[in-house]
A and B are shown apart, each in its own frame.
Chain A
Amino acid sequence: MLSFLGKRLLQLVPTLFFVSVIIFLLQHLLPGDPALVMAGEEKDPQVIEEVRRQYHLDQPIPIQYVYWVSGVLRGDLGESLRIKQPVLDLVLQKLPVTIQLATMAMAIALVIGVAAGVVAAVKKDSAWDYAANAFALWGISTPNFWLGIMLIFLFSVRLGWLPASGYVPLSEDWRASLAATIMPAFVLGNAIAAILMRHTRSAMLSVLESDYVRTARAKGLPERTVILKHAMRNALTPVITLGALELGTLLSGAVLTEQIFSIPGFGKLIVDAVFNRDYAVVQGVVLVTATIYIVLNLLADIAYVLVNPRLRT
């Protein structure tokens, strides 16, 4: 296990290095003088010179990268040119909002996806199976921003049951917080539920044909016990770890969902930064997102090895 962990951690080093290079090089895609573009509407030569000095844009590109990455390693992701705040502070302010949304979305996805997948596998080739497959196809084909708009139309505009936008922190008023986040969480969880349903169905089908399930049935155990206690427990292990890998979909989806529902999270931060041409924030958000994604992938791998004794050696 320790050697696996060591090997896996070692593999992270080049990945993180190249992630940092890609994100650093983004600013060199800007047409013209990056200092001029990064200063935005500010045309004061002194400000432009300050930007050039702050980002070491007068130095060769490899030197600029060394300055940038050494700052990142010290927790300095630069400063927002618009809000005049350190990017890390902005990220840390917005992160809890997106974490709440993502957690709710993943819970919704797990409940819907796993239930639909188990039913589809147990009732293979029945109307239930076709309905679950149709749901999966619908889930992966529906643009989440359209689903969000349609839900707002139905539940906010027509029925008036839920707020169309805004966010209330959980600590302030948990009921209002849930009311504000349930629609965006469903929108985010919908596509992942579809993917989890496909994984669960396929894992359950393979487990249901295995010898130990046949033995459990031969022992005369009720079908409910065979499915819930014997089959599901084994089928869900890979599904849950695969679910962790869907975090990328979740973070991508959060960008649009937070925009539609005006939720002041991570996704809205990057979109606002794009429109304010606040490139340091864009870089910072992409870097933090990629790091979170890499760390969660690592944790998913470790969890997979931990629950599979055969892989531990």
Chain B
Amino acid sequence: MADTTGELLSLAADTSDSPRARALRRLARRKAALVGLCLIALFTALALLAPLIAPYDPAAQSWATVRKPPSLAHWLGTDEVGRDVLSRLVWGARASLMAGCISIAIAVSIGVPLGMLAGYVGGAIDALVSRITDAMLAIPFLILAIALAAFLGPSLGNAMIAIGVSTAPIFVRLTRAQVVTVKVEDYIEGARAVGNPPWRIAIVHILPNILPALLVQATLSIAAAIIAEASLSFLGLGQQPPAPSWGSMLNAAQRFLASAPWMAIWPGLAIFLTVLSFNLVGDGLRDALDPRRQ
């Protein structure tokens, strides 16, 4: 009975607030999403405070401490040239989070305007944009990213561009589909009837209504982009040595699996936890922003 009353009160509070407040409350009820948010906050703090937190210079080599197991001096051990694994892990968080966020920012800034244009204008422009999107989606994501990174040249910046461009078609398709649904709503007809120019209708009236879906996709795409950056760095197409990156740390680690397994365990675990946290938040946001999934 108490539970039912609680649910009814919560439902009453839900219906009296703004959609954003309701979504935030639904998100706050999801423990997994909250765990994900805490992990993202932790990794972001590590990335931002790397110069203060990292016990050693991540590039400093020491032949006296080559492949030393975890100890009080080096909590997570050292690598093949005596660098502190913990320090490289903390600095590596910067590359991973930056690559995840910047590449998705690139994908959003290419994909959303193109998707809005295709969905709103329709006709030949829609057909052209949709066919190019289909073509890009036909090339498996990582293979396209590798090919782009290979032709652009190996660097973290080019890896981010490659991942961003390879992810953009997902945002074009999602935005287009959302715009096609929203543009026939009465309030858009109303905005058109009072003489609003198309760009204003798109930005002021359509964009806010498709933001929730874009937000969910962006969060899940950051997770995929972090794995992609780690993959490109693993292959030597991302962050270049001696700058630390979790992917390149794993690449070095596979040669010393028998003698120094800690070199492989920690960077992999860091990638896993970061990706997991974005997936948890993405799933939570999707459920919170779509009441039908309750």
- Stretch of B50-58, B87-95, B251-259 on the interface side: B251-259
Contacts of A31 in B (CB 8 A): 153
Give the Cβ gap from B17 to chain A, nearest Cβ, in Å: 28
Q: How far is the CA of A168 from the CA of B270 in the complex (A)?
A: 34
Set A21, A141, A275: member contacting B236, Cβ < 8 A? A275
CB nearest to A14 among chain B residues: B131
Give the Cβ gap from A180 to chain B, nearest Cβ, in Å: 17
Of B144, B146, B153, B275, most buried by chain A (CB within 10 Å of CB) is B146
The reply on B138 being an interface residue by CB < 8 A is yes
Residues 7 to 21 of chain A near chain B (Cβ within 8 Å): 14-19, 21
- Stretch of B71-79, B204-212, B227-235 on the interface side: B227-235
Q: How far is the CA of A259 from the CA of B146 in the complex (A)?
A: 13
Majority secondary structure of chain A interface residues (helix, strand, loop or mixed):
helix
User: Contact: A274 with B253, CB < 8 Å?
Assistant: no
Contacts of A145 in B (CB 8 A): 230-231, 234, 250
Contacts of A205 in B (CB 8 A): none
Residues 222 to 268 of chain B near chain A (Cβ within 8 Å): 223, 227, 230-231, 234-237, 250, 253-254, 257-258, 261, 264-265, 267-268
Contacts of B265 in A (CB 8 A): 150
Contacts of B143 in A (CB 8 A): 251-252, 255, 270, 285-286, 289
Contacts of A14 in B (CB 8 A): 131, 134-135
User: Contact: A289 with B139, CB < 8 Å?
Assistant: yes
- Stretch of A22-30, A210-218, A224-232 on the interface side: A22-30
Q: For the side of the interface on A, what is the size category?
A: 35 or more
Given contacts A141-B276, A279-B151, A252 and B141 within 8 Å (CB-CB):
yes
User: Contact: A260 with B268, CB < 8 Å?
Assistant: no
The reply on A111 being an interface residue by CB < 8 A is no
Contacts of B283 in A (CB 8 A): 137
The reply on A256 being an interface residue by CB < 8 A is yes
Q: How far is the CA of A27 from the CA of B150 in the complex (A)?
A: 10
The reply on B272 being an interface residue by CB < 8 A is yes
Q: How far is the CA of A205 from the CA of B233 in the complex (A)?
A: 40
User: Contact: A26 with B147, CB < 8 Å?
Assistant: yes
The reply on B37 being an interface residue by CB < 8 A is no
CB nearest to B277 among chain A residues: A141
Give the Cβ gap from B93 to chain A, nearest Cβ, in Å: 15
Contacts of A208 in B (CB 8 A): none
Contacts of A138 in B (CB 8 A): 276
Q: Given A274-B235, A282-B147, list of 16 further CB < 8 A pairs?
A: A15-B134, A22-B132, A29-B151, A141-B275, A143-B231, A143-B271, A145-B230, A149-B253, A153-B257, A248-B140, A255-B142, A255-B235, A256-B142, A274-B237, A279-B151, A286-B147
Give 23 pairs: A residue, B residue, CB < 8 Å, sorted on A: A14-B135, A17-B131, A17-B135, A22-B132, A23-B139, A23-B147, A29-B148, A29-B152, A137-B283, A145-B250, A146-B267, A149-B250, A149-B264, A248-B140, A252-B140, A256-B234, A256-B235, A274-B146, A274-B237, A282-B150, A286-B144, A290-B138, A293-B140
